[in-house]
């Protein structure tokens, strides 16, 4: 138990803390004080007059909402043996769709419809890559990367040329209707919405579906060894398409939640990098839906902490990016070795 | 129409294509030996940073280029060790390397270069001048293409032919083919699989970081955060579009460079009275690659042992 589980985890934590220490020290900041500031940004304590725990939790829970959803998106695809690197593009498609649905008049259950619209757009954005994979054998990584850029330019074109709010100078859509908005978790927060509740529910539901249903078992069998699953009569191509559409829908949901819960509109430069961060969240959770709640929180706390350090001391906020890269490499090298099988 | 397509546009297209050709051929060397290389983007970015830093510190663009290559080699070595020794998934390792490059280059830029600028130092570094071809660049027909191009561009134009000869006319090239298509059989036949894989990946580091160095030392003269701006992924697209063939990849990269040049030319300029949206032009290389993947342009077949 210790050698197999605890030792790699402790070693990983030690490596991350070492890299963090080096980066903070190299930026010329006092290490001990910096760690306290990071902790403050991550969990709100130690409390100071200028910075209340609510500020930290607002940022952490907001990021966690998005990272859990994009992490689940990457995880469900990986469970089926597909590397969906296109969550960023699917998130953009979902966000723009939700922003558009949110501005329509007279829609019943407006927020729900807007979220569903975002999910549909995200799934649509994943459809061609998985079709290419199943029918043409084209690697999904390549095609989802291409679709990321197509989404980037297409949404940019739409928000600057077609769907721009004519009353605004900035390239952004009209704000969505009040009825389409998700309430904030608490009135004194600025970003963290009940989208978090949705993310938690989705994570738990996926856990049940993946580990307690035949469909989930077949998805996992497909990902573990497609040939064996084929031989056992699993419709693997079907399961891959379904898992990928679900993956796209979840990334689209992340975009829709960001629109309906926090931003209330789509705008130029919409934060799509959460889609890439979802890769780290999923890998860290070993693609387990329930564990993405933990890894999603961890990544958000790390981000919020280093961002707080940036705001307080001017240390580069890219420290978080470097740490994330180190974490991915470590997890991949220790936990996710390739078996030699035909792909 | 004549003011739209002129010799200057072709010259710009070749300049825009240079980093794409270099990076695509780098990716080709890696994928031909069976190692997927998503990390081209990161190597371009770190290469650009190292080139800017090296030139800023010494005043010599040649030193800058060498710095870029060393850093590119280091990142490539990381990818090679991760995929060959630790048996990490090639894509995960590539994703991590891109993140690492983005984080580190920005971090170091803020730590090392930005403070120097505040001290009043110029951010524009000394660049490579235009290469001289002994008068060849002044010939009528060729002057539009070759005038004012740096030697890195000329190198990028010659390299695909060199690689073609290397890959198809030498023993080494045959071995690369064997490793990329069936590494187990290759190993049985006594081909040093691991050594060839290391070499292929290291070559991708050299060429991709040269692409980054080009951006600083021949195109803009300065480093900007995330200045690779997706070129590594367009290079990947060119590699696939060119079907893992040196001339095909370079040709596709030239084509994508042409779109970029055209997009720059078209900004705010109507064609036949129609304003073409630049976003849609920028999207074109990616869209074309998807169409190519759909098999509408013939069968796309990667090296069969890719990713193992």
Domain ranges of chain B: 7-128+150-293
* Whole-number pLDDT of residue A342: 36
Distance from CA of A160 to the nearest CA of B (A): 10
Query: Cis omega before residue A297 (within 30°)?
Result: no
Could you read off the pLDDT of B253-278 as tens digits, one per residue? 999 898 888 877 777 666 666 667 78
Q: Shortest CA distance to B293 belongs to which of A303, A136, A285, A249?
A: A136
- How many CB atoms sit inside 10 A of residue A105's CB? 6
Residue A337, φ and ψ in degrees, nearest 5: -70, 150
Question: What are the chain A neighbours of B49 within 8 Å (beta carbons)?
Answer: none
* Whole-number pLDDT of residue A28: 86
Is the separation of the CB atoms in B25 and B161 below 8 Å? no
Q: Do B293 and A318 touch (CB under 8 A)?
A: no
The pLDDT confidence band at residue A340, using thresholds 50, 70 and 90, is: very low
* Whole-number pLDDT of residue A343: 37
User: Distance between CA A87 and CA A291 in Å, rounded?
Assistant: 19
The pLDDT confidence band at residue A235, using thresholds 50, 70 and 90, is: very high
Distance from CA of A78 to the nearest CA of B (A): 12
User: Distance between CA A174 and CA A254 in Å, rounded?
Assistant: 20
Q: What angle do CA A257, A263, A264 make, to 5 degrees?
A: 85
Q: What is the mean pLDDT of chain B?
A: 85
3-state SS class at A10:
helix
* Whole-number pLDDT of residue A187: 84
Per-residue three-class SS string for chain B: CCCCCCHHHHHHHHHHHHHHHHHHHHHHHHHHCCCCCCCHHHHHHHHHHHHHHHHHHHCCHHHHHHHHHHHHHHHHHHHHHHHHHCCECHHHHHHHHHHHHHHHHHHHHHHHHHHHHHCCCCCCCCCCCCCCCCCHHHCHHHHHHHCCCCHHHHHHHHHHHHHHHHHHHCHHHHHHHHHHHCHHHHHHCCCCHHHHHHHHHHHHHHHHHHHHHHHHHHHHCCCCCCCCCCHHHHHHHHHHHCCCCHHHHHHHHHHHHHHHHHHHHHCCCCECCECCCHHHHHHHHHHHHHHHHCCECECCCCCCCCCC
- Residues A6-18, mean pLDDT to the nearest whole number: 86
Distance from CA of B176 to the nearest CA of A (A): 20
> What residue in A sits closest to B95 (Cα-Cα)?
A325
3-state SS class at A325:
helix
User: Distance between CA B162 and CA B52 in Å, rounded?
Assistant: 28
Is the separation of the CB atoms in B48 and B19 below 8 Å? no
* Whole-number pLDDT of residue B4: 58
Surface-to-core class of residue A232, CB atoms within 10 Å of its CB (0-12 exposed, 13-18 middle, 19+ buried): exposed
Is the separation of the CB atoms in A188 and A247 below 8 Å? no
3-state SS class at A184:
strand
Residues 6+ apart with CB under 8 A from A102: A110, A114, A176, A177, A180, A181, A259, A260, A264
Could you read off the pLDDT of B39-59 as tens digits, one per residue? 999 999 999 999 999 998 998
Which of B88, B233, B289 is opposite residue A333, by nearest beta carbon?
B88
User: Distance between CA B243 and CA B295 in Å, rounded?
Assistant: 12
Is the separation of the CB atoms in A150 and A234 below 8 Å? no
How many residue pairs from chains A and B have C-beta atoms closer than 8 A?
139
Give how many domains chain A has, as a whole number. Answer: 1
Residues 6+ apart with CB under 8 A from B175: B186, B191, B196
Could you read off the pLDDT of A135-174 as tens digits, one per residue? 888 888 889 989 999 999 999 999 998 888 888 888 999 9
pLDDT greater than 70 at residue B145: no
Q: Does B82 touch chain A (CB under 8 A)?
A: yes
- Residues A315-328, mean pLDDT to the nearest whole number: 89
Residues 6+ apart with CB under 8 A from B95: A85, A276, A279, A328, B38, B39
- Residues B207-214, mean pLDDT to the nearest whole number: 96
Residues 185-204 of B with CB under 8 A from A: none
> What residue in A sits closest to B232 (Cα-Cα)?
A145
Is A25 inside a domain boundary? no
- Residues B10-32, mean pLDDT to the nearest whole number: 93
The enclosing domain of A202 has a CATH number of: 1.10.3470
**Which of B96, B98, B115 is best to mutate for the A interface (most A CBs within 10 A)?**
B96
Region of poorest pLDDT, from A212-221, A293-302, B74-83, B173-182 = B173-182
Distance from CA of A184 to the nearest CA of B (A): 32
User: Distance between CA B70 and CA B47 in Å, rounded?
Assistant: 8
Residue B145 in tokens: 């293409």
Is A43 inside a domain boundary? no
Could you read off the pLDDT of A259-288 as tens digits, one per residue? 999 999 999 999 998 998 999 899 888 899
pLDDT greater than 90 at residue A116: yes
User: Distance between CA B97 and CA B104 in Å, rounded?
Assistant: 10
Residues 224-243 of B with CB under 8 A from A: 230, 233, 236-237, 240
pLDDT greater than 80 at residue B244: yes
Topology at the third CATH level for domain B7-128+150-293: ABC transporter involved in vitamin B12 uptake, BtuC (1.10.3470)
Taking chain A, what is the end-to-end CA distance rounded to the nearest angstrom?
Answer: 32
Question: What are the chain B neighbours of A82 within 8 Å (beta carbons)?
Answer: none
Is A107 inside a domain boundary? yes
Q: What domain range is A194 assigned to?
A: 56-315
User: Distance between CA A179 and CA B45 in Å, rounded?
Assistant: 44
User: Distance between CA A27 and CA B237 in Å, rounded?
Assistant: 37
Residue B181 in tokens: 């298509």
Could you read off the pLDDT of A28-39 as tens digits, one per residue? 888 888 999 999
* Whole-number pLDDT of residue B119: 55
Which of B78, B92, B237 is opposite residue A336, by nearest beta carbon?
B92
Q: Do A318 and B107 touch (CB under 8 A)?
A: yes
pLDDT greater than 50 at residue A302: yes
* Whole-number pLDDT of residue A63: 96
- Residues A96-112, mean pLDDT to the nearest whole number: 93
Residues forming a β-bridge with B271 = B274
* Whole-number pLDDT of residue A103: 93
> What residue in B sits closest to A325 (Cα-Cα)?
B96
User: Distance between CA B142 and CA B246 in Å, rounded?
Assistant: 23
Q: Does B85 touch chain A (CB under 8 A)?
A: no
- Residues A219-226, mean pLDDT to the nearest whole number: 94
* Whole-number pLDDT of residue B299: 59
Taking chain B, what is the end-to-end CA distance rounded to the nearest angstrom?
Answer: 50
- Residues B228-236, mean pLDDT to the nearest whole number: 90
User: Distance between CA A326 and CA B100 in Å, rounded?
Assistant: 7
Q: Do B104 and A322 touch (CB under 8 A)?
A: yes
Measured in whole angstroms, the distance separating CA A259 from the mean position of its chain's CA atoms is 14
């Amino acid at each position: 138990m210790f050698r197999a589980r605890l030792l790699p985890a402790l070693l990983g934590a030690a490596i991350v803390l070492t890299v963090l220490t080096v980066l903070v020290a190299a930026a010329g900041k006092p290490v001990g004080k910096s760690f306290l500031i990071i902790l403050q940004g991550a969990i709100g304590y130690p409390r100071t007059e200028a910075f209340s725990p609510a500020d930290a939790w607002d940022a952490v829970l907001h990021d966690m909402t998005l990272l859990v959803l994009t992490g689940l998106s990457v995880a469900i695809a990986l469970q089926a043996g597909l590397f969906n690197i296109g969550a960023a593009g699917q998130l953009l498609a979902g966000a723009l769709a939700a922003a558009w649905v949110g501005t329509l008049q007279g829609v019943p259950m407006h927020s729900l419809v807007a979220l569903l619209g975002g999910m549909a757009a995200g799934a649509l954005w994943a459809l061609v890559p998985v079709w290419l994979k199943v029918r043409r054998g084209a690697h999904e990584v390549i095609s989802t990367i291409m679709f990321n850029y197509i989404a980037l330019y297409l949404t940019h074109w739409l928000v600057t040329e077609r769907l721009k709010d004519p009353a605004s100078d900035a390239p952004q859509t009209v704000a969505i209707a009040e009825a389409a908005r998700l309430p904030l978790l608490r009135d004194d927060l600025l970003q963290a919405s009940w989208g978090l509740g949705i993310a938690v529910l989705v994570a738990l539901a996926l856990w049940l579906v993946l580990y307690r249903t035949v469909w989930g078992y077949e998805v996992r069998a497909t990902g573990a060894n497609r040939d064996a699953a084929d031989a056992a009569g699993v419709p693997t191509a079907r399961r891959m398409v379904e898992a990928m559409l679900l993956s796209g829908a979840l990334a689209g949901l992340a975009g829709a939640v960001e629109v309906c819960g926090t931003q209330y509109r789509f705008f130029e430069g919409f934060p799509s990098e959460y889609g890439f961060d979802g890769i780290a969240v999923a890998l860290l959770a070993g693609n387990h839906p329930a564990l993405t709640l933990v890894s999603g929180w961890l990544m958000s706390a790390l981000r919020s902490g280093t961002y707080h350090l940036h705001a307080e001391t001017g240390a580069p906020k890219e420290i978080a990016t470097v740490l994330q890269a180190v974490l991915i490499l470590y997890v991949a090298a220790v936990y996710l070795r390739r078996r030699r099988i035909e792909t | 129409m004549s003011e739209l397509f002129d010799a200057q546009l072709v010259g710009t297209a070749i300049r825009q294509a240079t980093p794409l050709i270099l990076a695509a051929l780098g990716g080709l060397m890696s994928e031909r030996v069976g190692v997927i290389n998503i990390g081209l983007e990161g190597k371009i970015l770190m290469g650009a940073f190292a080139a800017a830093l090296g030139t800023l510190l010494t005043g010599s663009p040649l030193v800058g280029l060498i710095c870029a290559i060393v850093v590119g080699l280091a990142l490539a070595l990381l990818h090679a060790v991760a995929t060959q020794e630790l048996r990490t998934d090639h894509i995960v390792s590539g994703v991590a390397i891109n993140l690492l490059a983005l984080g580190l280059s920005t971090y170091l830029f803020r730590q090392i270069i930005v403070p120097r600028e505040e001290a009043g130092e110029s951010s524009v570094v000394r660049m490579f001048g235009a290469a001289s071809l002994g008068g060849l660049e002044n010939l009528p027909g060729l002057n539009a293409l070759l005038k004012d191009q740096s030697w890195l561009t000329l190198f990028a134009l010659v390299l695909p032919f060199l690689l073609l000869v290397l890959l198809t006319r030498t023993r080494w090239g045959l071995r690369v083919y064997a490793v990329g298509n069936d590494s187990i059989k290759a190993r049985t036949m006594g081909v040093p699989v691991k050594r060839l894989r290391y070499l292929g990946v290291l070559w991708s580091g050299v060429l991709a970081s040269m692409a980054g160095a080009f951006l600083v030392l021949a195109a803009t003269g300065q480093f900007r955060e995330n200045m690779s701006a997706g070129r590594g992924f367009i290079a990947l697209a060119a590699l696939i579009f060119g079907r893992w063939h040196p001339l095909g990849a370079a040709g596709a990269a030239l084509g994508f460079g042409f779109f970029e040049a055209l997009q720059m030319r078209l900004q705010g300029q109507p064609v036949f009275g129609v304003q073409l949206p630049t976003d849609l032009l920028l999207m074109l290389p990616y869209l074309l690659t998807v169409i190519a993947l759909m098999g509408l342009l013939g069968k796309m077949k990667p090296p069969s042992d890719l990713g193992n």
